[in-house]
Each structure stands twice: as structure tokens, then as C-alpha cells.
């Protein structure tokens, strides 16, 4: 079993060496499979294709190009330690439809149900039927992606060695109506090995191609311009940055040591989104979500800066839906940060009380795990940039999971006994946040809890009598197995799903039950994460210009392209669709670019 890469430096280098060796072994085995004719490039071309960005989408696109026999230059401004990009840090959740894992859990899913949920969630409303509309290609990508998730996605990944934790998670439970936002059934498949295990098969194939001469890595190459010749993109220009030994996720230097220009008939941009660039986040913040929060924490490394969006736009690419974004409302300040303003998200079960900054309980659908953007709007409407969970140790032990591969050593390290221990004990990373995190207040009584909450903020915003009234009212609804309280209904509903009953939902109990304590309050910060809009692309991943025509030689995939089409998610995500969007769009762009460069 592979050690978790981020657990310690020796593990990281051991895993990196193992992948390099595996790449060399695979190179010989794949040489015969790379018999497709390479593009008959002119003597001035440096490769058949250039891929800008070595995250998951870039690795997938590069692997597809190399498998077709193309010579590829893979560029990134970061050092080799960051190969794989954000995917390495992810929880590894993938959206699958009618999967073996779902059927094992007794979940009845279908392509039609998933498409119903996607449409109700995305809310496409910007020129879907107009070829020039911002949502025209986004809609087509969404339909193709749902078909992929209900079709070959699982078998394709399974053949590459990817496996999943057998209990399927139920994320984004929605806004309350069958045809509205949310997942009607659990679809969140956590990869066994988390994000690194999603990334690993593609890294192996790219390293194998590098060993055979098909791929050349160009680390520390920052692209500043896409070169155009007679209207076609024919290469890239930029700066070579000084070598860096910065560990994965840590800030690397921006000292320039040289210039470069590289040429190829095809350039694929896979550079990611804007999540670490708070200035760009605020610049594109939509009015419908209220005022941008004054304070935000960051769920992605600092290199997720959005630079390539403007660079590609200057080369003729069209950016659509820049106001669509996906930020989380349950962010914790990391007590051991890797990057600036490093935040970790709580993936909550359904039971914690969610309060605004003044201690007022949110109403449906602004409940834990139901509707992320509706809750974000409810928080910004209060005039504050944070909110609270009030919960119990019993709820935290069963229902709190933390985002990120490094926060889930049991799943990341494929440690079966430790993973199973989640059933009867609080995961150690959660307990560490309770002990060391600045956002936690623990108390035996509600008066002490309120005093701690007000003390943490430095203002007496929460009134004890009012919070006591709200908690008592909620607790009275626990006396019967039926209720008018929508959140308590949701708890009972969750407990009817065996997956939630086993691992994600505490038995219904009163918040003030002494046996469930101590009481815990968690300050929740806004956590920046995903860019839902981006470069508009057709189903081949070709970047389109303002007239809707493809920019010759230019492709894009992953988050920079809104995970496909300039916004495959529309306004909201069903979760598990970001890594999947990188996989699907990277595959589409890589295969199309390979076909375009064939003789």
C-alpha cells in the first residue's frame, strides 16, 4: 500500500521515485502501442503539442496525446513537487451514476434521474439554444458528462486501477423539490487513496511516456503569452523561473533566470482557476450572492492564480460565465497551514445547528449538506463573513469529515482498520482541529458555550436566552419519530439510508442531552475553491472566440474551461464533479488534439 505522499518528506520522495521507476517499466510495454503517426511538424516545431499546466486535466490530456504517439511538452510554473496540482490535495470524490457501489448500497439511480438533478442544479439560462450563448456549449458538455458518468467513466477508471470506498456519500441534498437543486440519491464516491489515487494512473503513464521520449517536462516555465501566427496559436512564450525545492503546496520563488519560446501546432491550456487570487474572486463576485466577504480563507495553493485566463483571452479565447463560482461555507482556519490563508472544509452530516453570526438559526434549505450557494447568500446577507455550527461531541464524532487527502490518512493510505474505526470513534484529524483549531469552542453547558463564542469574536453578538429558546424548541422535536422541523426530518431521512446510518449520521438526539456532550461551537469561514466559468470550448475542447469559431491550434480543459464548455456546472455543483470534469475534459481535449495532429 502506498504511504500518504504529504505525510512526511521521505514518503513523498519514495512515492515519486516509485512512480518514476514505474514509468520506465511502462515505457517499454507501451512503445508498440504508440504506433500512431506523429504530426509531420516543420523543423521549427519543438513538439506536436504543448500542454500548459501539469494538474490532473493536463496529465490526462498529455497521457492521451502520448498514447497516440505525439510528442508533448508539459509546462508548469511550479516545481516537480507540485505535479498533479490540486488533485493531490482533494478528497478524491467522484460523481458516478448507477454504479456497482450504489447498487451494493441499495441505491436506485439512473441516467435520467441524474440528468434531472443536473438541470435542476445548473439552472442554465444564458442562451442555451443560441450557438453564441454563454450556456450553449456548457449545456452540451453537461449532457455529455452525465452520459459519461452513467456510462464508461467507472469502467475506464477501474481499468486504470482506481477503486472506491464502498459507502457512497450523499452530498448537496438540495433545495427541497424533486426537479430543483441537489442529488436525489447518494452519488459521491470517495476514491480509495483519495486525490493522489485519482492522479496516480495518469502520472504513471506520463512518466512512462517521458522515459520513452514522448513527453518532456518543463517545470518552472511560466507562460506569459500564447504565440499566434496567421491567426493560429503556434506556441508559447514566457519566463524560466529559478529552480525551487519548495515542498508540494508551499509558495515557490518567482525569480526569473531566463526567457523561453516553444513552438507546436497545438497548445492545450489546463492551468486551473482563480481560487487563490482573492482579488479576482472579488472582481468577479456576482451580485446575486451579496457583497463579497471581507475575510476569506483559501482552499487551494497560492499558484492557483488565474493568470492563464487573461493570457488566453488576449490570444482570442472567449471567457464566459466568470461570475459563476463555487465557494464553501464551512471553512476552518488550518492550524498547520501549508499555503497562505490555508483553509480546510468540514464535510458535514445533517445534524448540527447552523446559526448566523448573531446566533439566529438558518432555515431550509440552508442546512448542513443541502445547498452550498443558498447558504453562502444567507451568510453574506447577514453582513458578516462567518457563521456557526452548534453541535455535540456525538454529532462531531459521526458526522464531521474534513476535505483533503492530508486530512484523511486512513483513506489516503488505504488503511482498512483505521478507516473502519470511523464507525466507533472520532477521526484523529477532526479531534486535532477541535484541540488546536482557532475556530472551536468546547463547553459543558450552553451558558459557557455562548460565553466562549462571544469571547472568540470579541463581541457579545449572541444572546444566551435567545439561543436557549432555539435549542429547546429544536430538542422538543426529537421526542417523536415525526416532526415539523425540516432539519430533524432530514436526520430521520438520512438514517433510512444505510450508508448514512453506518458512517455519516448520528442517531437523533437532543443537543442538550448530557450524554451526547460536550457541546461544541465551530466558527465557519468562507472558503474559496472553484471557478465554474471560464474559456468556452466545444466538445473537442477547442477554445472558441467571440464569434463562436474555434481559435486554430488552441484547446483548453479542466477548471480554466469551467470543467468543459465554459461552465458545465451552470450555477451550482452536485459535488464529485470537479475531479471528474478534469478527467473528462482532459480526455476529450487530448484525444481531439491527437487526432488534429495526425498525418
- Please, which residues have CB within 8 angstroms of residue 95's CB and are 6 or more apart in sequence? 149, 187, 188, 189, 574, 575, 576, 577, 580
Measured over all CA atoms, what is the biggest interatomic distance in the chain, rounded to whole angstroms?
Answer: 79
Give CA–CA dist 593/55, Å, rounded.
Answer: 18
Query: pLDDT tens digit string along 96-116?
Result: 999 999 999 999 999 999 999
What's the average model confidence in pLDDT over 327-342?
97
Give CA–CA dist 422/436, Å, rounded.
Answer: 20
Give CA–CA dist 334/233, Å, rounded.
Answer: 42
Residue count of the chain: 599
Q: Is the pLDDT of residue 33 over 90?
A: no
CA 487 centroid distance within chain: 26
Residue 142: what are its φ and ψ, rounded to 5°?
A: -60, -45
What's the average model confidence in pLDDT over 1-15?
34
In angstroms, the Cα distances linking 105 to 11, 165, 194, 234, 356 are 34, 12, 20, 50, 35
**Closest listed residue to residue 535, CA positions, set 209, 258, 315, 254:** 315
What's the average model confidence in pLDDT over 42-46?
76
Give CA–CA dist 325/343, Å, rounded.
Answer: 17
**Closest listed residue to residue 53, CA positions, set 92, 90, 84:** 84
Contact (CB, 8 A) for 318 and 546 = yes
Query: pLDDT tens digit string along 47-57?
Result: 999 999 999 99
CA 428 centroid distance within chain: 23
Q: Is the pLDDT of residue 579 over 50?
A: yes
Q: Is the pLDDT of residue 517 over 60?
A: yes
Q: What is the pLDDT of residue 43?
A: 56
DSSP 346: E
Q: Is the pLDDT of residue 26 over 90?
A: no
Confidence of residue 424 (pLDDT cuts 50, 70, 90): confident
Q: Is the pLDDT of residue 36 over 60?
A: no
Handedness of CA 266, 271, 272, 274 (dihedral sign): negative
Q: Is the pLDDT of residue 448 over 80?
A: yes
Handedness of CA 121, 127, 130, 132 (dihedral sign): negative
**What is the pTM for the complete model shown?**
0.92
CA 321 centroid distance within chain: 18
Give CA–CA dist 565/548, Å, rounded.
Answer: 12
Contact (CB, 8 A) for 65 and 590 = yes
Query: pLDDT tens digit string along 275-291?
Result: 999 999 999 999 999 99
Q: Is the pLDDT of residue 207 over 60?
A: yes
Q: Is the pLDDT of residue 34 over 50?
A: no
Give CA–CA dist 587/63, Å, rounded.
Answer: 9
Query: pLDDT tens digit string along 240-284?
Result: 999 999 999 999 999 999 999 999 999 999 999 999 999 999 999
Amino acid at each position: 500500500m502506498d504511504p500518504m505522499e504529504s505525510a512526511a518528506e521521505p514518503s513523498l520522495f519514495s512515492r515519486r521515485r516509485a512512480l518514476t521507476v514505474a514509468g520506465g517499466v511502462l515505457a517499454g510495454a507501451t512503445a508498440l502501442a504508440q504506433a500512431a503517426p506523429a504530426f509531420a511538424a516543420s523543423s521549427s516545431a519543438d513538439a506536436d503539442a504543448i500542454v500548459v499546466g501539469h494538474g490532473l486535466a493536463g496529465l490526462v490530456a498529455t497521457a492521451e496525446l502520448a498514447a497516440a504517439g505525439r510528442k508533448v511538452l508539459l509546462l508548469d510554473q511550479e516545481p516537480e513537487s507540485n505535479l498533479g496540482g490540486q488533485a493531490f490535495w482533494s478528497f478524491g470524490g467522484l460523481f458516478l451514476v448507477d454504479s456497482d457501489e450504489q447498487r451494493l448500497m441499495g441505491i436506485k439511480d439512473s441516467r435520467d434521474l441524474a440528468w434531472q438533478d443536473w438541470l435542476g442544479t445548473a439552472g442554465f439560462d444564458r442562451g442555451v439554444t443560441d450557438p453564441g450563448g454563454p450556456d450553449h456549449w456548457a449545456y452540451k458538455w453537461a449532457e455529455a458528462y452525465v452520459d459519461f458518468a452513467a456510462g464508461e467513466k467507472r469502467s475506464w477508471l477501474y481499468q486504470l486501477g482506481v477503486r472506491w470506498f464502498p459507502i457512497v456519500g450523499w452530498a448537496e441534498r438540495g433545495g427541497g423539490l424533486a426537479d430543483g437543486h441537489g442529488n436525489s440519491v447518494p452519488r459521491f464516491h470517495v476514491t480509495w487513496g483519495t486525490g493522489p489515487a485519482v492522479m496516480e494512473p495518469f502520472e504513471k503513464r506520463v512518466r512512462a511516456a517521458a522515459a520513452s521520449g514522448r513527453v518532456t517536462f518543463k517545470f518552472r516555465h511560466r507562460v506569459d503569452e500564447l504565440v499566434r501566427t496567421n491567426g493560429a496559436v503556434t506556441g508559447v512564450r514566457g519566463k524560466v523561473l529559478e529552480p525551487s525545492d519548495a515542498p508540494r503546496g508551499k509558495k515557490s520563488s518567482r525569480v526569473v533566470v531566463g526567457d523561453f519560446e516553444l513552438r507546436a501546432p497545438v497548445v492545450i491550456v489546463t492551468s486551473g482557476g482563480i481560487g487563490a487570487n482573492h482579488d479576482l474572486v472579488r472582481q468577479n463576485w456576482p451580485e446575486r450572492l451579496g457583497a463579497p466577504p471581507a475575510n476569506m480563507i483559501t482552499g487551494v495553493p497560492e499558484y492557483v492564480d488565474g493568470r492563464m485566463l487573461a493570457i488566453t483571452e488576449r490570444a482570442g479565447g472567449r471567457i464566459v460565465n466568470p461570475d459563476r463560482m463555487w465557494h464553501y461555507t464551512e471553512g476552518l482556519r488550518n492550524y498547520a497551514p501549508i499555503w497562505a490563508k490555508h483553509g480546510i472544509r468540514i464535510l458535514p452530516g445533517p445534524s448540527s445547528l447552523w446559526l448566523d453570526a448573531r446566533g439566529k438559526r438558518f432555515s431550509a434549505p440552508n442546512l448542513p449538506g443541502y445547498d452550498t450557494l443558498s447558504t453562502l447568500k444567507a451568510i453574506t446577507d447577514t453582513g458578516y463573513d462567518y457563521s456557526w455550527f452548534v453541535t455535540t461531541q456525538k454529532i462531531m464524532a459521526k458526522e464531521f469529515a474534513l476535505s483533503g487527502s492530508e486530512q484523511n490518512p486512513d483513506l489516503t493510505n488505504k488503511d482498512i482498520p483505521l478507516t473502519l474505526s470511523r464507525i466507533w470513534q472520532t477521526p484523529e484529524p477532526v479531534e486535532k482541529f477541535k484541540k488546536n483549531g482557532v475556530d472551536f469552542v468546547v463547553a459543558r453547558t450552553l451558558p459557557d458555550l455562548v460565553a466562549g463564542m462571544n469571547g472568540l469574536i470579541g463581541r457579545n453578538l449572541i444572546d444566551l436566552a435567545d439561543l436557549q429558546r432555539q435549542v429547546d424548541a429544536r430538542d422538543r422535536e426529537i421526542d417523536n419519530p415525526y416532526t415539523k422541523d425540516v432539519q430533524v426530518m432530514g436526520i430521520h431521512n438520512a438514517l433510512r439510508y444505510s450508508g448514512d446510518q453506518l458512517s455519516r449520521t448520528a442517531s437523533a438526539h437532543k443537543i442538550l442531552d448530557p450524554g451526547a456532550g460536550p457541546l461544541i461551537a465551530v466558527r465557519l469561514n468562507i472558503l474559496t475553491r472553484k471557478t465554474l466559468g471560464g474559456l468556452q470550448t466545444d466538445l473537442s475542447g477547442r477554445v472558441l472566440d467571440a464569434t463562436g469559431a474555434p481559435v486554430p491550434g488552441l484547446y483548453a480543459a479542466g477548471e480554466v474551461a469551467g470543467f468543459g464548455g465554459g461552465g458545465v456546472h451552470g450555477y451550482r455543483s452536485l459535488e464529485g464533479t470537479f475531479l471528474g470534469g478534469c478527467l473528462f475534459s482532459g480526455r476529450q481535449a487530448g484525444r481531439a488534439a491527437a487526432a488534429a495532429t495526425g498525418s
